[in-house]
A and B are shown apart, each in its own frame.
Chain A
Amino acid sequence: MARSTAEVSAVTDRDGVPDGGTATPRAPDDAEHPLEWDEQENNDLSPEERTSVSQPAEKVDDRKLVTGQAKYTADYDERFPELARAKVVRSEIPHGNVVDIDASAAKAMDGVCAVITPDDEAVPDAKYTSAGQSYPEPSPWDMRVLNEHVRYVGDPVAAVAAVDEETAEEAAAAIEIEYEEHDHVVDPEAAFSEDAPRLFGADEVDNEIVGHDYARNRMAHIEGKIGEVAAATEREDVHVHESEWSTIRQSHAQVEKHTTLAYTDEDERHVLITSTQVPNHTRRQLAHLFDVPIRDVRVKKPRVGGGFGGKQAMVVEPIALALSLAASRPVLYEATREEEFGAMRSRHPMRVRARSAVTADGTIEAIELYALSNTGAYGSHGMTVAGNVGSKPLPLYSKVPNVRFEADIVHTNTPQTGAMRGYGAPQGTLALEGHLDRVARDLGIDPIEFRRDHYMEVGDLDAIAGMMGGEGAERRIRSCGLDECIARGKEAVGWDDLEQPAAEQLHRGIGMALSAQGTGVAGDELGAAQIMMNEDGSFHLQVGGVDIGTGADTAFVQIAAEVLGCAPADVVVKTSDTDNTPFDYGAYASSTTYISGMAVKKAAEDAKERILKWGSHMLDEPVEQLDTCGSEVYSDRTGASVTLEEIGYESVYGEETREHILGKGTHSTEESPPPFAAQFVDVTVNEETGEFDVNKLVVAVDCGVAINPKMAEGQIEGANHMSYEMAVNEGITVDSEGRAEQRDYEEYSFPTATESPPIESILVETHEPTGPFGAKSVAEVPTNTVPPALSNAVREAVGVRITDMPITAEKIKRALDEP
């Protein structure tokens, strides 16, 4: 594993308990990261050579989605006549201990199938983390399925299963809980002190994470550096700039709520049909929690109505399984929207400080970021998200010789946070890109040229990505389309010929920001695929990879079809069922196309080898002369051909020899190449009122070769909309007791169709030799860039800079009114 190096090392205090999932330091090594990648010839196809990859193709599940025939978890209810519905009773106080639970009235109600409380036999008492990450888990085991020590308004305490929703609700309401209240703390700065109310006692956490200091409510501390920042800032020829930024607690707000259906089948194996991003991790975690063998748990992912990181977590599954064990019948637990905002997961709100040392001519000698991350009541994804605040944005400026990052991750009595698209990079990108804009302005330098002098290019050995926790590792840059992203973005937004509005009080400005992400967790990913040929020349493709609405299944099909030389329609794809598909780490860290997609490519190549053998046998020509295309095996030399269907029949029903043509592939890698984004925001601000209109978002992305360009654009647009929301929405706010103040989309002020600006997405193609057909990731990088670009645009338009998100008319007005 290469999750972290240098100053980040894990603490493990007890034998046999996995540590915080961090790695052994390694010295940078040039030879280990050759620029020339030993790429297979078939991986680098010119646009004319591609038959399936990067061609327009229908999304494979779209027809069932637009006709309402697709099945999401809740739609499976009709298959289970005995199905009970779940309702969870959650803490009403921010911090305390449950001293008594009176569930007698609930238990006595007609139609109630089970009531569970923390002491029940069906409820595991092992500690765990809800974070769905690899193993050893890099998040602390600090929570239980049902909790006696409650740490936020929303902590689950009891649960009910009943014959229908209403009965479950009534029974839940009839449960009386008596608490002994403790002091609580909501503000992260106040929490980070020995005088603050303490959330975790000495023995309340297993699998503690590096730098934990629970006496000060700190779950982790990380730092990393390259060079000597302190020395650089003391030089006489530099100017030290400092700025501070803050970000919102954003809700994933995926439209399908967390939903799970649990039952035990006729073989006494536990089955979860569940809306998850991480089937294999969930299977492992459930087995651990319920103390059953991994083989006796099956996790099946049907269609998923969006995840965005919120379902990279085992949030609802253990409750449903415990209820179903207690009730001896299948149980469906569908969270409410109110629970989504108050008790599921959200983006870690952070305060990030940026410091730089820059010479008068605009050479950056040092950059430093410090983040204070509010992880809420529990520590899921706390350390790894904070690590990314530094390890994703900072490597972009690989020419800067001295770089340092540090973060403290603290608990408060507020709802839980977790993984969310961008995973720390949006917080870091706001600080870094806002800061650089300010420095460029102070020095009177063009903000783009200032960046260009320091940003990475092909050939760079990026050590910054590996200097601290998160998902990074040292890497060689082998593809980089930043120059073109900027050029095309500038042109699309009209950077050089902006017209000012006629009205005197209106001012228009364009702001920009750059971003880099990664493609998978470097050195900590695995994807696998199998392919079977049918006698009619079609294929069944089984992949562990997880499509949560992104179109991953379609990308798998296109990759397989490209290798096999068949039509995408001839590939039937089956994914994400731990009983029937190979292992996969899951949909997170922008890994699916790159990692699982490469596994698909390898599986298809493995099958193709056998297909060509059969072609050779049937055509009586050497394998070297043969290739596949147009659903045929053909000979370069003679032009003779045999169809895949003929091969399919012959291989299965042939007279002399027979074989089921199978291919398998598994893929893991140390590589995690960065995709890049150049964001432009065009804004008009009213200098009298502070009101503003975002006229347009333009974002150009280098994601290598887009396997399905329209789908890639869709990812960019959705990510940019989410990024826009981060810039203009309050997100989830909490009251003085740490209770989420939003219960539905209206209260959350989700930007609707009329409130969302038009988004122009631009794909800049480069070739990433380590990815399948040149692909790298796309879905996260455009999540990072709107907050800084909009902040920079407002500064350009009316001269004031808003540094704490969201950017609102009131804040602009207040800044304009300042003397």
Chain B
Amino acid sequence: MKYTLTVNGERKRIEADADADVASTLRAAGYKGVKCGCDGGVCGASTVIIDGEARMACGLSMASVAGSEIETIEALGSQGDLHPIQQAFVDHLAVQCGFCIPGMIMQTKQLLAETTDPSEQEVREAIDDVVCRCTGYQKPVEAVLDAAQRLRNDSAGIEESTAMTDGGTLDSGGERRD
């Protein structure tokens, strides 16, 4: 069967069986940012946004998402021009192996679309379905809270501060030692 979907704003016709799983179909179509860490529906690594709702793509059949709008991690920023959520994850060193991160960022995106100023507890609840073995959730939670702040600043038209509180890039070889 061919299914028509909107993926990351582009209309796509994707060949797949009706019961084919959305995560593997997206991966086969080149959206490799969709990760699979379990046998289906438990780890959250395959989380994408389907018609405005963050969902694990692996448990879903292609037939059930026909005609939907799907957003994957590839829809956000590029390496040279990160989305503020991605930038916050980078600046807080909230990423270790990175395998859970696309799913966590998609969950964050939905959270911040609904709640611009979440509490720490709300952040933890939003990413509760995403298993991360590396970070103990500490830095990701800090990154999400900071991302919320950045997005609020953006919408209030405040210039993004270049001096990051944490992290930040070192772009010179430093001053001479003498």
Contacts and interface: CB of A to CB of B under 8 A. Distances in A.
Interface of A: 49-52, 55-59, 61-72, 74-75, 78, 165, 252-257, 303-306, 308, 336-338, 548-551, 561, 564-570, 627-632, 634, 636, 708, 710-711, 713-714, 717-722, 724, 743-746, 750, 752-754, 756, 758-759, 761
A51 B174 contact: yes
13 contacts: A67-B73, A68-B73, A256-B99, A257-B37, A303-B98, A305-B35, A337-B37, A551-B96, A566-B173, A713-B93, A717-B136, A721-B136, A754-B124
A630 B133 contact: no
Contacts of B177: 49, 51, 627, 629
A59 B34 CA distance: 21
Given A64-B79, A67-B77, A70-B98, A58 B169 contact: yes
B102 to A, nearest CB: 5
B38 A744 contact: yes
A303 B97 contact: yes
Interface string B113-148: 000000001011101111111111111110000000
A253 B170 contact: no
Contacts of B77: 67
B94 to A, nearest CB: 8
Contact of A743 (B24, B34, B39): B39
A255 B167 CA distance: 25
A59 B93 contact: yes
B174 A254 contact: no
Contacts of A70: 98
A756 B34 CA distance: 25
B170 A55 contact: yes
B98 A710 contact: no
B44 to A, nearest CB: 9
B99 A72 contact: yes
Given A66-B98, A756-B137, A56 B32 contact: no
Contacts of B140: 753
A337 B39 contact: yes
A636 B170 CA distance: 24
Contacts of B168: 56, 58
Interface residues of B, number: 71
A61 B97 CA distance: 9
A55 B31 CA distance: 35
Contact of A710 (B30, B43, B92, B178): B92
Given A67-B33, A67-B73, A337 B42 contact: yes
A711 B93 contact: yes
In the complex, the 4 A-B pairs of residues with the closest C-beta atoms, listed nearest first? A68-B33, A549-B97, A51-B174, A721-B136
A634 B43 CA distance: 53
A718 B38 contact: no
Contacts of B90: 58-59, 62-63, 66
A630 B172 contact: yes
B98 A753 contact: no
A629 B172 CA distance: 9
Interface string B148-178: 0000000000000000101111111111111
A470 B102 CA distance: 38
B78 A67 contact: yes
A718 B136 contact: yes
Interface of B: 24, 30-39, 42-43, 45, 72-74, 76-79, 82, 86, 89-102, 105, 121, 123-125, 127-141, 164, 166-178
Contacts of B89: 62, 66
Of A52, A68, A74, A257, most buried by chain B (CB within 10 Å of CB) is A68
Given A68-B73, A710-B167, A718 B134 contact: yes
A3 to B, nearest CB: 29
Nearest to B33: A68
A306 B97 contact: yes
Contacts of B97: 254-256, 303-306, 548-549
A575 B76 CA distance: 28
Nearest to A564: B173
Given A568-B170, A632-B173, 11 more contacts: A66-B101, A67-B77, A78-B32, A713-B139, A714-B93, A718-B136, A722-B136, A745-B43, A753-B128, A753-B141, A754-B125
A78 B30 CA distance: 8
Contacts of A548: 97
Given A66-B105, A308-B133, A756-B136, A630 B95 contact: no
Given A254-B97, A308-B133, A714-B135, A68 B173 contact: no
B135 A717 contact: yes
A56 B164 CA distance: 10
B173 A52 contact: yes
B77 to A, nearest CB: 6
B134 A549 contact: yes
Contacts of B72: 68
A752 B37 contact: no
A490 B98 CA distance: 33
Contacts of B24: 165
Contacts of B136: 717-722, 724, 756, 759
Nearest to B134: A718
B169 A57 contact: yes
A592 to B, nearest CB: 14
B138 A63 contact: no
Contact of B167 (A56, A64, A746, A750): A56
A604 to B, nearest CB: 13
Nearest to B41: A744
A6 to B, nearest CB: 38
Contact of B175 (A51, A75, A338, A549): A51
Nearest to A629: B176
